Amino acid sequence: MGARGAPSRRRQAGRRLRYLPTGSFPFLLLLLLLCIQLGGGQKKKENLLAEKVEQLMEWSSRRSIFRMNGDKFRKFIKAPPRNYSMIVMFTALQPQRQCSVCRQANEEYQILANSWRYSSAFCNKLFFSMVDYDEGSDVFQQLNMNSAPTFMHFPPKGRPKRADTFDLQRIGFAAEQLAKWIADRTDVHIRVFRPPNYSGTIALALLVSLVGGLLYLRRNNLEFIYNKTGWAMVSLCIVFAMTSGQMWNHIRGPPYAHKNPHNGQVSYIHGSSQAQFVAESHIILVLNAAITMGMVLLNEAATSKGDVGKRRM
């Protein structure tokens, strides 16, 4: 019974093959070729991504910040595929550019990159690079960028958003502030390690030695310690420093002034009410000191018994 049924099943299969539409074979062949092509394209993307990451890791092993020109910028930052975040500092470090702020920002950027490079959490998900105007002016033109320094974050997918540009004018360029911004954009937390700086300790030691030596030399006559005018001058200096924004400068680390790279115009007053330049705080300090001196002179003129003409002046 089973032997007789086998020919019957073969005849039925033959009928099904005869009634299969002839146009379906090219369609199946096209579908197969498409699947093979997609698989090959995906493999090519994976290989290209692996090569890019390997190259970036090699550069990072030699230095924490690698410089980029226009070709490297387009290949490693703009062109897909990319599964890593890239922090880029756009700057102008050449001496002829006379950008003192760029040099100061570069020092903080170097501290931040070194802290990430030598930390235990270092991985291939975040890299630090730099584009100098004299090496990649085409990149500045491509991004419509007309000021330096500027810090930008390029995410693994999609285009940078507004928050991916660091607000340098409002926050300053201290390494700690940059690390906080990077943590907000990438969820990568960097603990900043600054190289030891003994200048403050040496200055304090010299000051203590100077004061101690002065007290020792004047040990038989210490009436100057009770001089009210001297203490008043010291108090005024502290008040002038604090009211002019010197503490804000110390915390935020703003630039001394801003020079427009197009027309060379230097701005000493910041355009925003939420930020300031160092020069601006110096101007405020001088104005406060002038007003205070005027009030002191008016008080002296009213209470003294000198010449009337001098008192009026």
Helix (H) or strand (E) holding 87: strand 85-91
pLDDT digits (tens, 9 = 90+) for 30-39: 666 666 655 5
Task: Name residue, tokens 């910040």.
Answer: 65
List CB contacts of 260: < 8 A, sequence separation 6 or more: 147, 266, 267
What 3-state class would DSSP assign to 157?
coil
List CB contacts of 171: < 8 A, sequence separation 6 or more: 177, 181, 252
Q: How far apart are CA 58 and CA 116, in angstroms?
A: 15
- H and E: helices and strands count for the chain: 12, 6
pLDDT digits (tens, 9 = 90+) for 288-311: 999 998 888 888 877 777 677 776
Q: What pLDDT shows up at residue 199?
A: 79
CATH number corresponding to 40-186: 3.40.30.10
Q: How far apart are CA 51 and CA 188, in angstroms?
A: 23
Cis peptide before 81 (omega within 30 of 0): yes
Q: What pLDDT shows up at residue 152?
A: 94
Query: How far, CA to CA in Å, does 51 sit from each of 42, 43, 54?
Result: 14, 12, 5
Q: What pLDDT shows up at residue 41?
A: 60
Angle made by CA atoms 304, 305, 309, in degrees to the nearest 5:
95
Q: What pLDDT shows up at residue 101?
A: 85
CATH 3.40.30.10 residue window(s) in the chain: 40-186
Helix (H) or strand (E) holding 283: helix 278-303
Q: How far apart are CA 275 and CA 266, in angstroms?
A: 16
Q: What pLDDT shows up at residue 73?
A: 92
Query: Taking the model in full, what pTM does it have?
Result: 0.59
Q: What pLDDT shows up at residue 191?
A: 92
Backbone angles phi, psi at 123, to 5 degrees: -150, -175
Output the tens digit of pLDDT for each of the chain's 313 residues.
444 555 555 455 444 445 445 556 666 666 666 666 555 567 777 888 889 999 999 998 889 999 999 999 999 988 888 899 999 999 999 888 878 888 889 999 999 999 999 998 899 999 999 999 999 889 999 998 888 899 999 999 888 999 999 988 788 888 999 999 999 999 999 999 887 877 778 988 998 999 888 888 877 777 777 888 888 888 988 898 888 888 888 776 677 887 776 677 888 888 777 778 888 888 999 999 999 988 888 888 777 776 777 767 7
What is the DSSP secondary-structure string of 130-151? EEETTT-HHHHHHTT--SSSEE
